Structure 1
Amino acid sequence: MPRHRLRWIALGATAVALACAAALAIWWPSEAELARRAGDAATERLGVPVKVGQLHWSLFPSPRVELRDVRTEQEAPLSAERLSAGVRWGDLLHRRLALTDLQLENATIPQASLSEFQVRPTDDGAESSLPFTLAPIPVERADWQGVRWIGRNGRTLVYAGSAEFDTAWRPRQAWLERTGAPVPTRMAITREGAEDRWRADVSAGGRTEQGTLRLQEINGRYRVTGAIDFTGVDVEGVMAAFERRAVVAGKASGHTDLIAEGADPAEAVQALHTRTRFTVARARLLTFDLERAVKTVGTQRGGTTQLDSLEGVVRTEADRGGTIVRYSDLKATSGVLTATGDAVLQNRRVSGHVAVDLVDGVVGIPLEFGGTMDDTTLTLPPAALAGAAVGTAVAPGVGTAIGARIGETLRRIFGDDEPEVPPPKRPAPRR
């Protein structure tokens, strides 16, 4: 073929390519338009306004979409500095939605704002209008770092983690770590074959223990159960990892069970309950001096108490107003003193009662405590205080304790006030 003819063919092909590129540029929306459409789609799905600052996409070496400065329009917005996802050419050409990886960086998630979400159900036929079908494994791997969780009380905790998924959103393996914790605090799970059962390796308080997790679907609802035994866990270390002030110092041993149930995994997590039976040898109370509280008939505040032993049961339950922690069957020994009682803790406010025996099971002083974790108070109920005064007149020392116990016992027998928040609060004293 003559050379000049080849030149004209090349020029013609170039012109056609340029014309196609120009037409594609006119037809294909700009990145700004795609960012707006992505925000509108998220708004429709989540039920709250969503804005996407920037959207970038590329096709080579493999298709990828990156979103930047994503945030909800709420009083306390959810935000993400960067959200990136990749797909394979084969899935894209077959119009199959399957992400090879999903990356989330520097996100902020206020717990209080999640309750404003009204997630649109997926069974309303909306999926059929999409140009893609959902793959059996929609996301193969997800990674996140710098994710700041803001609790209802304003406490901010930073997390990092990763998960690899099987079908039906079952994690094949995953890990979650408390970034910046003073001691390593991490949980890693590994699926056992194809069963809905996982081995859990939990590192906290200077120890790594192994437990189990199990997922069940019962009548269309999800139920997650788990169990773990632990030995020699530093209580202060665990609390410090989540920026909480410990009430007790020492090494704890015991057993924890957890259960969560809901219509979907997210609802199940929000309904999480745990129960832990524990013992702490050579424990130390960090909020008050028990012996001085007894000697001053409940007027002493602050201080610490060295204990020979501490045991009890602690239950936690998720609540819109903040996690509720209930302590029951508490028993502490310190020299000649034995104390038993229970308590409720929520949003750093504590309430409960304790009976302090000078001679185990024979002579005791009833005390009520309340206030905050930073300023816990121990007081005698009015009836017990009156009894203590009578006891002092009869016989100093032990007479005070006997009088206090008698005064409180008489109030319980003849009083008819109802408990304010059962359990474990005692009836309010009659005025």
Structure 2
Amino acid sequence: MLNAVIVVDDEAPIREAVEQWLTLSGFEVRLFSRAEECLAQVPEHFPGVILSDVRMPGMDGLQLLAELQRRDRDLPVILLTGHGDVPMAVDAMRDGAYDFLEKPFTPETLLGSLRRALEKRALVLENRALHERADNRSRLDATLLGMSPAMQTLRRQVLDLSQLPVNVLIRGETGSGKEMVARCLHDFGPRADKPFVAVNCAAIPEQLFEAELFGHESGAFTGAQGKRIGKLEYAHGGTVFLDEIESMPLAQQVKLLRVIQERRIERLGSNQSIDIDVRIIAATKPDLLDEARAGRFREDLAYRLNIAELRLPPLRERREDIPMLFSHFSRTAAERLGRDAPVLSGEQLSHLLSHDWPGNVRELANAAERQVLGLDGPAAQENPMGQSLVAQQEAFEAHCIRSALRRHRGDIKAVMHELQLPRRTLNEKMQRHGLVREDFLAGDSPTG
């Protein structure tokens, strides 16, 4: 239950009396003597109610109401009026004020109005959160493509973790999309309007690593001309993505651990500590604990980074997503290059599904672009890992059923007719491949 109230009144005795009543009743109260001060400090999506006097020097209560309405039409504003201001207050309610109280008012009258207003505010904010989550889910579906069970699970995890202030470790093979997932964790969370700073730990020479991460003062070392802001300081309020974290020098791992624990840094050549607020997202191919046992990584840092772990499935473990992804990459490349997107034959699709894709999504995207350019067919080589015929058939079957469900927007009878399958057989195959009819209904079909 929300319980935040902002009180705006230029008369100190009224402010103090209202504060005492509300505090004793369990409300969190902030006081302002001027409307301008309130406007400067009221947060966006304020989870509470504004209680304001009408007649005040400078900006009055009606002007405050108008400005608050411009920012958020659903923010409840209760006006405090003198006897002669009642007609004006009634007009203000038509303009969006939630209620008005005529002075003098009793604590019971005030508390009743506030509680009703807070109940309404709670419903509004809950409804907004539901709409925002639905919008985020749709945007995420269009970013992290794939309808395999593994990708559906990954999107749910990303959506949940994006809202939490915890460090995340992303595990995945080369080309599996680790930076894209890190970017989604940032873009769909509360830090989205702050910097996202990506650092490839394997690409920075060891002797420059500390200056790159922490910055330096002028003259801190030979060649250090002028002050330089490091990546961690630059990302204040946002997210730092440390790719290939296993490549970070051990000496710098100690300093990163201290940053995570103390939330402050020191530039090279400076004795001054600087407070920073950053979320750390790290990515690695090997298991960091295995690296720690081999003496190549600090175990305590591994645990600090791995508050939550996301595992990105390699493309060979979600073959049913390959046709959708190839089609998406082909369309994107065709638009960029001013060419027509190719139409795959059954034999070409079979090549796509049988190839092992050691370079994962990145390799698939390159293959799609080469196909658009007419340089070669997709995945022309045979599967180097000897993918079994049964596995290839399963992937192709899942693709055919998914495509039919998408075309017919979840109409099971239409899918049965197209694929010439009895209802029971179709149900069994859908269950085996993790396909759910509701995911394909009209107006809610998967993006791909």
Q: Is TM > 0.5 for Structure 1 vs Structure 2?
A: no
State the TM-score, normalized to the length of structure 1: 0.22
Higher helix share: 2
Q: Which is higher, the Rg of structure 1 or of structure 2?
A: 1
State the TM-score, normalized to the length of structure 2: 0.21
Higher relative contact order (CA 8 A, sep 6+): 2
Higher strand share: 1
